[in-house]
Amino acid sequence: MNGFTSPKNVGFSPESGEKKAKITLTAKSTRFFFCGALIFASINACAPYLFSEEAPATFSLKACLEYGLSKHPNLQQADGALKSAEAKIGQIRSGMGTKVNLQSSFNRQRQERRRVLTTSRISLSSDDLIDSSSNSLTVKKLLMDSGKTNERVKSGQLSLKAARYDKLWQEVLVASDIKAAYFKALQAKALIAVQEDALSRYQVHLDKVRSFVEIGVRPPYDITKAEVDVANSQVALIKAESDFRVALSVLAKTTGIDREIAVESTIKNEKPGFPIIDKETLLSETLQRFDLSAASCRAISTEHQIGEARKGLSPTLSGGAGYDWSGSVTPMDRSWNMNLSISVPFLDGRLTKFQIRDAEGIFQSNQAKVQQLKLAAKSDLEVAISGVIDSFKRLDATEILLRQTSETLKLAEGRYDAGVGSPIEITDARTSYSGAQGSFITAFYDSLISLTKLDAARGKLPEEINFEF
């Protein structure tokens, strides 16, 4: 009646409802299919970027040194300090420079008509606007300050020289740390090869024991013992691989690289020659290190600060000139002036006295730092020389030990193959040989690291780089 059809009047059949349901399901299935295909295509396209791992870049020792000396944060910090020291000298010299100042101002004043009528009986037809301007040009210059600026400039120049020495010393430290970390990484990599060789030997021995047991030459216990040896060797290999990853992480941090790296073995497996140790010559080189030179420059710089403080009550002479033009109508009022002033302080509340004491205290502290650094440098040299002697002695001893354990292993293997040796004997021989290999490799790279530390104690950069001061 009102346009609304009740459910009873609606014609509905099970067949038509089934067709509509099929059509609806078909449409939904089509939409799901296209959405799934689109998602799959997107994931397939982005997969190389989302799940791929960038291969670590391979660095040689020279590449690590060049990268570290160009981008290491410590060197960036030292370079910033050097630039700051250079800028401070310019700031000091600007005190004796000529200063020119131009100043201009404009003023507009308005008087309302009512206020004018109340204050005066003169009739005005509109509001009054009064414009005025004022301009001035001044020139000032400090002519003489009794040598205070000269003392500050000399102090700043010595501070700049100290900053340069600091940067050079940081380069020595960074290069030494990088070289030592690189040798540590190579050492860990070589120890992996030792453990892999040991594991391979144990596996070959296990196969040999199994064949002996099958033919009844050896008891089954030998298989169990050989399997235990293989398992222990696998554990040792896992430990060596973990140590190698840690060494690579330390190398990347020391070099200043923020990603995973790999090392390129460019070191000849030749026994390094024992250096000629002349303690007097080495001590003379050590006492010329950059950190000692920087400390000496700072101590001398403080002497100039004392000289500046002592001139606190000295007179200063300055001069200046000015030109002014101002007014509300043209032509404007014009004036000029010139002045020459001298300032002679008599009393400053004992400020100069305490400034001198402060500078003298800093000078004494800087001198003590120089002496402390000399003692530390001598100690570093003694420790480095001891490290070189110790590492080379261990290298000679482990070389003999490696040769002896190799012969012992050959005898143990021959006895076992002949049926007169025990599995414990061959296990001990293999363990001793692997340990001797590890000790020799450790001593070999320790000798290279000790030579690196000796160069650092002398304040020398590694010979692998060509660096110009």
pLDDT, residue 8, reads 40
Give pLDDT tens digits for 183-241.
Answer: 999 999 999 999 999 899 888 888 888 888 888 878 888 888 888 989 999 999 999 99
Whole-number Å distance between alpha carbons of 337 and 332:
17
Report residue 4 as tokens. 């609304």
- The CB density around residue 157, as the number of other CB atoms within 10 Å, is 18
Mean pLDDT confidence for 386-400: 93
pLDDT higher than threshold 50 for residue 444: yes
Where is average pLDDT lowest: 90-104, 358-372, 382-396, 406-420? 406-420
Contact 370, 299 (CB under 8 A): yes
In 3D space, the residue among 196, 234, 251 whose CA is nearest the CA of residue 68 turns out to be 251
Split at pLDDT 50, 70, 90, the class of 29 is low
Q: What is the pTM (predicted TM-score) of this model?
A: 0.76
Both tokens of 359, joined, read 């500078």
Distance in angstroms (rounded) separating the CA atoms of residues 151 and 312 = 12
Residues 251-305 have pLDDT tens digits of 999 999 888 888 887 566 677 777 778 888 999 999 999 999 999 999 999 999 9
Residue 22 pLDDT: 44
Q: Are 321 and 139 in contact (CB under 8 A)?
A: yes
The dihedral over CA atoms of 76, 78, 84, 90, expressed in degrees to the nearest 10, equals -120
| Residue among 212, 279, 233 nearest 420 (CA) | 212
Question: Which tokens in the block code for residue 216?
Answer: 């009844």
The pLDDT tens digits for 331-355 are 788 899 999 999 888 888 889 899 8
Token pair in block for residue 342? 């001298």
Please tell me the number of Cα atoms within 13 Å of 446 on its side-chain side.
Answer: 19
Higher pLDDT, 190 or 330: 190
When pLDDT is cut at 50, 70 and 90, the band that residue 13 belongs to is very low
Q: Which long-range contacts (CB under 8 A, 24 or more apart) does 68-73 make?
A: 68/174, 68/175, 68/178, 68/254, 68/255, 68/256, 69/171, 69/174, 69/175, 69/465, 69/467, 71/256, 72/174, 72/255, 72/256, 73/256
Tokens found for residue 266: 């460019």
With 60 as the cut, is the pLDDT of residue 115 above it? no
Q: pLDDT grade, residue 423 (50/70/90)?
A: confident
The residue ranking higher by pLDDT, 260 or 126, is 260
**Where do the domains of the chain lie, and which CATH numbers do they carry?**
58-96+145-313+350-456 (1.20.1600.10), 106-144+315-347 (no CATH)
Kindly report the average pLDDT of the chain as a whole number. 83
144, 96 contact by CB (below 8 A): no
CB 65 within 8 A of CB 464: yes
Distance separating alpha carbons of residues 61 and 184, to the nearest angstrom = 12
